[in-house]
Every structure is written in structure tokens, then in C-alpha cells.
Structure 1
């Protein structure tokens, strides 16, 4: 399936390169008249990243001019330019980048940039969202939509090691140039970093993806720490376990996460996990939600066996999964 990242390329100034992953307390929905004020507060934290003749977007996430963007926006460049909401431009250095997670950290030569507020819980499907960035060079653009789903993966990513980077799907319009920009809730909090979309030639209409805020911030910390990211790959895609799904599986519980797909050549398949299983414990930690599952894996290193407790057909089972390193 054709996927496109949402960053402009220098070649066509509007094309895109081929792409390589708990119910939150929903933000109170403001009146429509409040949205311009919310956007105005957030826009100074969203920048345009210029790389030669191409461009993408970025989000200020920490004081000192630190900016999150996508790795495919900066490529192998060491220095870029960022355009601010007030029209000024400043140089920025690429501190570190990781192709597997498609994230990069920049440091702008201006320390007074205001960090955006981040919200690290996954949003529920249906929550209204805004996408901010510079699509096709239209600086400081805003589009609106809803969260279409969570726990998504870009089709084909499992074979590249990205299956555990659970993405937010949105129907807010994302176009080339939006990459690295903010997906925000209606309180002006960044819930994701825009990353990719399905182009119209696939038959898709408004299917875009963002890297969840918690994932992006964790990876940014790794990049700032030693310049690299090592992620465990379990070869399993999980989804939120709703009461309706739990009833259909006769699970006897709505606690845990649903195994939606398993890479037949991955560690989870070797450990005996199958689609339809419900994971209730990882590494000794009780798993009630999707966030808890993702959080339990943050301290897991590749090659380190991880105990898992899961339900299958109402029966409790245990296994050990040895993740490999996520590589492309």
C-alpha cells in the first residue's frame, strides 16, 4: 500500500517521499469561538523547518530552543533553518535523529521559544483535534478533525520494526509539510507529532497518522541522552480492549489489551501469542490499559526476556517473550 510522509521534498515542493508506531480524560470542548484563541496560544510553539528547498514542521517541547520534528524532514542534514510564527527565521542544529522512530531533535539558536504543553495520555476515538504545521508551504496552517483511532500502525511497518509505535489516526487534513507539526486537543495540548498520511491514490480520504506525545517525548529524552534510540520489538500489535470486544471473546474481563495482529516471524509468535489473546500482565506489571502496556515496555531492553500473562478463551496462560532490537 502506498503511504506518504507529510514532509515536502525539495524535488517537487509538494510531493512526499514513501514512508518507511487509556482512555484519556477528554479535553473539555470549547465553544467554536474559543478556537482562534487556542490556536493563537499554541502557534508560537509550532515552527516551520526549512531544509534546502524542502520544508516540514516542528514543535518546541522544552526550554532552550529544543524542537521535535520527524527524521524524514531533516534527513542527513546537520543544520537547518526554522521559521517562527512571527515570521523570523533562525538557524538550528540537528542534535540527534532516529530513522526507525522517525523523530529528530533540533536546537534553535534562540533560547526563548515557548514550549508547547503536552498531554501524554492517549485520546479516545472521537475526540476533536487540530493539526498545526506548514502544509505545502502554507505557513501557520490549521486543520480540524477528530481522532479516528489509536494503536494504529502504518501498513507494512511491522516488517520494519515499528509495530509497537502505536500511532494516532486522525481525519484532520495532513499534507506534505505537516510532518513534525502538532496534533493538539481542543485545550491546546499537543497529543501527537504528525508523521504520515495515506495519499488519495490509495483510495483513502483523510487518513493521517501522528506519533503519540508520550512516545515522542520518551524518544526525545533518549536522543538527548546519548543520540540514539534502542527499542524492543515484540512483533505484536495491540489495541484497546473495549467491553464490547471483551464480551464477544467471552473474556470474563475488560482489563488488559487485545492482541490484534502478530508478526509470524517475530518474538511474540515464537512465544505462542496469537491474535485474539488478551494480555493482562507484562514484566510483573498489571496491564489494565493500552497506556499501561506501552509504559511497561519502556524499561525493556532488546534481548531481555519479558514475562507475559494473557487470556485465551477465558483461560489464563503465561509465556516469556524475548524482544529483538527494532531496526529498519
Structure 2
């Protein structure tokens, strides 16, 4: 297994495998018919042909067929450091693949193969419903065409402490369907065999977890995939600040009333935060009226915004006074990708 990430004391595993083998909300336009375990055989038969195994020199993961002309969507950490890979299809055939574009911020990548007329995965554009059927398809530990099933356990999940490791682990779909090393980049599908998420990570049992897996929402995955496909890079909202968790030590040192909130550790000169009047030492209490108790909360709000959007912030300054301001997001510059 590749090294696990530590997130606020949790050991969080990004689910590629080595050769050594705030309350969630339900969308108003939620689909009807959430499915049951009785649907799994039919769902699997429809979805399995659209999921592949991705092999690199250092291990393997999974992927989803994005276009009929051989474009595969997977996780960036699956193909990290590789320019070429091997793709194993559900029909038993293999094909070489070339890494076409990657986006580290969302942990997504596109791989181009030379196969054509492939079965294409269907993606559900809206968020799933909590409690609906979730079927995970991929190649855990190298076992191709593996299926596990459960339900969607939560939405808008941010893993505590993950902001210090990666920005990819925010605004995720949670499921209790088993996700294991090698599932990375594979599909989480609903009762209509539509992709509702791309498998991303899980918290392993040694961390005290039972069936805690996470996936990138389908809408995020397709948005990034289209940007990578058309321009070779993805645009992300940029606030121009370094959000940091308030530890008890920091709270004591700065005489803060609690550890709730995101402290601004630094700002980028001339960036959105500096332009809006934010300074190191300011504490972000809310973003667009949503409490920001930890950096992952702030990054989750940021993930759902685009360059040019404005976000309303409630701040507490070093003097203890609260104030409100509006910050205009820009496109993330290349140096911070």
C-alpha cells in the first residue's frame, strides 16, 4: 500500500495499492428510487464494463471509461510519477495508456488509450441521497472487477486535518460500501448504474474505523475531467491565504476564546485575501454563513466556488473585534497548484 496520510490523528489511506502487495444536506432535485441490495447484480452487470484496472510500475488502481474513444478518468495519486500505464479492461483486453492531464488539487487525472468504441460510464450530475444504494466497483488489491455494496452514508465530508496534507480530501461523499487499496479511481454507482462518485480514500480498521470510505462527487469529477480534456488544466478558486487549525496552544498564546475557527497564518501579497483586508492572525468564523471550525470547512466552501465568485466572511481580529468582509476569488496561480 502507498503511504497513508495522517489527518488530525486519523490514518487516512489513499486507495491505490503497491505491487508489493456541518450536517449534510439533501439536494432539492434528489433522484427518486434509492435502490436496495437486491439491485446489486443488475447494477453490477451494467456498470462493470465501464470500469478498468490501471497498472503502473509502482502499483495499481482503478479507472472509469470517460469517452468512447479511450479516455479514462482516474485518481492523480494512482498514476503519480508515471507518463505511461497499462489499462486492463473488463473484457480481458489490455491497452497501453498515456497520462494526458492531471489535477493535483482534486486528485483526478485523464489517461488516453488507443481503444475505440468503448462502453462509457454515465455520471449523475446531482448529489446522491443519504441512504441510497452505493455500489463500489474496482480492483482492490489487484482483484479485477470486484464489487462491494452499501449505502451513501454522508455528504460534504471533510476529513479532519487533511488540509495540511492535501486539498483533495474535502467535500466528499461518504459510503459504508467497502473501499480498499486498489479501488482508487474506480466507480461508486447508484441503483441506475450511474456514477455518483470516484473512489478516493478510506479510514482503515487500525484507526478504529468500520466501513468509512470516501469518494469524489460525480459533478466535481466531470467538471474537472472536462477542463482537463479541453484545456489540459483545471481552474480552482483561490483565496490567497493559508488556513490553519487553531490548536489549544495557539488559542492560549493569542488569548482566543476557543479553538473554533480558522486562523489566517499568511496571505499572498496582492492576493484576494490581502486585497479584502485580511491579515495574519485574523480568525475566519464563517464563510458564506457556514461555520468554519477547521481549515477543511473553509476549503469545502472554496471547492464549491469558481474564480470570480465572491464569498462573505465573518472574521475576528487579534483585538477580539468581529467584522464582516467580502472576498473576490481568483484563479489559482500556477505556483500554488
TM class, shorter-chain normalised? 0.7 to 0.9
CA separation in 2, counterparts of 1:263 and 1:142? Answer: 42
Question: Which of 16, 25, 28 lines up with 1:7 in the alignment?
Answer: 16
Match of 2:326 among 319, 323, 326: 319
Name the CA shift for 1:140/1:163 in 2 (closer, same or farther; >3 Å).
Answer: closer
Unaligned 5+ residue runs, structure 1? 14-21, 238-259, 281-290
1:45 pairs with 2:53? no
Report the Cα offset of residue 265 of structure 1: 3.4
Find 1:308's aligned residue among 311, 321, 327: 311
**What are the within-5 Å matches in structure 2 for residues 251-266 of structure 1?**
262=262, 264-265=264-265
Q: 1:171 is matched with which residue?
A: 176
CA distance in 2, matches of 1:193, 1:224: 17
Secondary structure of the residue aligned to 2:122 is coil
- State the Cα distance separating 1:98 from its structure 2 match: 2.1
CA contact (8 A) 2:173 2:197 kept: yes
Q: CA deviation at 1:156?
A: 2.6
> Counterpart of 2:295?
none
TM-score by length of 1: 0.74
1:154 pairs with 2:159: yes
Are the structure 2 counterparts of residues 32 and 194 from structure 1 closer, same or farther at C-alpha, using a change threshold of 3 Å? closer
Alignment partner, residue 130 of structure 1: 135
Matched position secondary structure for 2:66: strand
Query: Are the equivalent residues in 2 in contact too, given 1:161–1:233 (CA < 8 A)?
Result: no
Check whether the contact 1:136–1:176 (CA below 8 A) recurs between aligned residues: yes
* Equivalent-residue separation in structure 1 for 2:205 and 2:238 (angstroms): 31
> Structure 1's 127 and 52: CA in aligned 2 closer, same or farther, altered over 3 A?
same
Structure 1 SS opposite 2:265: coil
- Partner Cα separation in structure 2 for residue 70 and residue 261 of structure 1: 31
Residue 121 of structure 2 aligns to a residue in which SS?
Answer: coil
Instruction: Report the counterpart of residue 270 of structure 1 in structure 2.
Output: 278
CA RMSD of aligned residues (A): 3.3
How many residues are aligned here? Answer: 279
Task: Tell me whether 1:104 sits opposite 2:109 in the alignment.
Answer: yes
Q: CA deviation at 1:208?
A: 1.1
Cα 1:143–1:159, aligned 2, differ >3 Å: closer, same or farther? Answer: same
Contact in 2 for aligned 1:27/1:187 (Cα 8 Å): no
Cα shift readout 1:27-67 (whole Å, capped 9, x = no counterpart): 41346443212210111000011112511000012221111
Which of the pair has more CA radius of gyration?
A: 2
Partner in structure 1 of residue 71 of structure 2: 66
Query: What is the TM-score normalised by the length of structure 2?
Result: 0.72
User: Which residue does 2:224 correspond to in 1?
Assistant: 219
- Partner Cα separation in structure 2 for residue 124 and residue 70 of structure 1: 24
Q: Secondary structure at the match of 1:76?
A: coil
Give the match's secondary structure for 1:230.
Answer: coil
The answer on whether the counterparts of 2:37 and 2:133 sit within 8 Å (CA) in structure 1 is no
Mark the runs of 5 or more structure 2 residues left unpaired by the alignment: 1-5, 244-259, 267-272, 291-299, 316-322
**In structure 1, how many angstroms separate the alpha carbons of the residues matched to 2:60 and 2:169?**
28
